[in-house]
Amino acid sequence: MRTEDILIDWSLPLYLNFTHIAIMNRLDDFYKKMGIMERLEGDIYVCNKLNTDLQLEDLPDDAEMRPLKVEDVEHIHDLYPANEIECVDVFNILVRVLPGLGVFRKDTNELAAWMVHSYYGAMFSMQTRPNYRRLGYGIRLATALTKKVIERGYKPFVVIRPQNDASRNLYTKLGFEKVYETCRVKMTPNPIHTNGGPEPSAPELEPEAENKPIDEGIEDMLAEKCDIKAADEASGQDKKATTADEGIGEDK
């Protein structure tokens, strides 16, 4: 694999999305001599049969669930923890083409929680505002979106971080089962391996810099904490912080 020079240019940064862990381990064997691999692990959970016996209470009288619209996109993208990777245009397309649901307050039309179906097939970006936790919005969104995905002929699946017990408990309750482990990886070659790049400094080649944990901001992967307080303060807006899937553990 290291001799491949047609499909892959090893001198350039590479991004691999949800690649099987066995493949990543093979890449790791030789790439650590060429550069740094930043890994974000995620387990693939697939729903082959939705649990229809699950009893859920109705939404509160002051809330309603309805499809997301294009006018909701900018707000969702602003609060999306990896918005530096996915541009707002991507979310515009997702909302127009694929199913996405939100829970709204009837009186103010405020978006309290939401979830969308992504271009790579996963159901993702479930987020619940802190002041709407403990209301069961998370499991209702997951159940409703799973049904819509099935109706459209897709196989519902989610990507869950191994340490995210809350998400795992929620989706296994709905009938999702773990099928395999993946990694989302950013591969950055050392400058010495790039064409015409500057000579690396000593720290850049130190072994302990290899395979450092990836910045968790690269992708929420369906349930990572998203603290937007700092972003709100920087923009001068007086909003409450929104936490991605923070409500999942309390919506069980």
pLDDT digits (tens, 9 = 90+) for 73-112: 988 888 787 777 788 899 999 999 999 999 999 999 999 9
- Closest to 220 (Cα-Cα) out of 240, 241, 244: 244
Global pTM value: 0.72
Q: Which two tokens stand for residue 9?
A: 């240019």
pLDDT of amino acid 6: 85
pLDDT of amino acid 238: 42
Query: Quick check: 95 and 73 in contact, CB under 8 A?
Result: yes
- Using the 8-state DSSP alphabet, how is residue 103 labeled? E
CATH 3.40.50.720 fits 60-137, yes or no: no
pLDDT of amino acid 211: 39
pLDDT of amino acid 82: 73
pLDDT of amino acid 75: 83
Give the residues of the chain that fall short of pLDDT 50. Answer: 196-252
16: β partners:
185
Q: Which ranges of the chain would DSSP assign to H, the alpha helix?
A: 21-31, 70-79, 88-97, 137-151, 165-174, 229-235, 248-251
pLDDT of amino acid 193: 52
What is the CB neighbour count within 10 angstroms for residue 206?
9
Backbone conformation region of residue 134, classed left if phi is above 0, alpha if psi is from -120 to 50, else beta? left
| Residue entry with tokens 């669930």 | 65
